[in-house]
Structure 1
Amino acid sequence: MSLSVLVVLVVFGIALSVAAVHFTGGTTTATLAGADHALARFAEDFPDERPRTVRLTADNHAAFLDLAPQRCGIVRSIGDCFLTRIVTPRDILALTREGNVASLRLNDFTWKGGNFVFADEADALAVAAALQGDERIRKAA
């Protein structure tokens, strides 16, 4: 078999594999249907917790749940699944808020955080306030 035929076969095989993953739903991103969906998903991993308030991001890819003073539950879509965490001020490397965007950087090698856009500034402010723990974070927010 010539080298050019082999290259064509390899490229075609890779393209076919990528297309198969895409068309079978491998590139979809999970979305939260609402506050009840976020509560149910969080309860699967943390059944003993009793969240008080749920704040969804504007794109419904994340939810922040008030648990207690300076504790916050997070449900975040990662691909077609959801990641859940309980975050305290000790877990935060950086927290900033500008308008309706809260940016969170965590001290967790499995998930570093991200930028979260809320429908209004009040939700972003409430999330930042729930996670404030020391003077360093208050100045950044």
Structure 2
Amino acid sequence: MLWTITIASLLLAGLVFRQMFRREEEQELAGEDAGLAILEFGRAFPDEAIREMITTANGRTVFLRLHDGKAGCMNAHGHHYSCHLIEPGTVRVNGAGPKRLDVKFANAAYEGGTFEFRDERDAAEVSLWLLGSFMPGIASLDPQAAGQPH
């Protein structure tokens, strides 16, 4: 009986340690994925400078805010990303809940879908980036045309 309890305890301890190491690995990979996303997008679009990026809650999709008002989207497919530069007028964004956005791309339907973010702030920020990508050239117009005071 003592041997059975000892073996069961050792198996349980092994499972607990395995789960702890798995969580640490996932956290390390999440940090590496952000760097990998930047490198992959830079390779796909070398002339675009990234200002900010937000990942979805599951870490499979990265939305990028670019230097000139445009936006980008990257979906993870295994160990690589498909990079998508969002052209003005090619995206539809609908709210699908407090932390979720339903995004449809006219020129890449397979890239769209419903994306869940870590919090409402991230979802709102990404929706502003995507809606701002409708007319990225408006920032170069005079302030009155852009709806801003002089």
Q: TM-score with structure 1 length normalisation?
A: 0.63
Distance 1:61 1:52 in 2: 20
User: What is the aligned length?
Assistant: 103
Match of 1:77 in 2: 76
Q: Which runs of 5+ in 2 are unaligned?
A: 1-28, 136-150
Task: Find the aligned partners of 1:113 and 1:51 in 2 and give their Cα distance.
Answer: 21
**Deviating runs (4+, > 6 A) in structure 1?**
none
Written as runs of structure 1 = structure 2, the 5 A alignment for 1:42-121 is: 42-68=41-67, 70-92=69-91, 94-97=92-95, 98-109=97-108, 111-121=110-120
> Residue type matched to 2:82 in 1?
L
Distance 1:112 1:56, change over 3 A: closer
* Rounded Cα–Cα distance in structure 1 between residues aligned with 2:99 and 2:123: 5
Deviation at 1:99, TM superposition (A): 0.9
Q: Which amino acid aligns with 1:64?
A: F
Q: Deviations over 1:39-82 (max 9, x none)?
A: 11111101111110010111110101101454111110235532
Q: Any gaps of 5 or more consecutive residues in structure 1?
A: 1-30, 135-141
Q: Which has the larger radius of gyration?
A: 2
Q: Is the 8 A contact 2:98 2:120 kept in 1?
A: yes
> What's the % identity of the aligned pairs?
25
Structure 2 Cα separation of the partners of residues 34 and 109 of structure 1: 23
Query: Hey, what's the Cα distance between the residues in 1 that align with 2:39 and 2:49?
Result: 11
Residue type of the alignment partner of 1:39: I
C-alpha deviation, 1:88, in angstroms: 3.3
Q: Which has the higher contact order (CA 8 A, sep 6+)?
A: 1
Deviates further, 79-88 or 50-59: 79-88
Higher helix share: 2
CA-atom RMSD in angstroms: 2.2
State yes or no: 1:129 paired with 2:125: no
1-structure distance, mates of 2:120, 2:88: 21
TM-score w.r.t. the length of structure 2 is 0.60
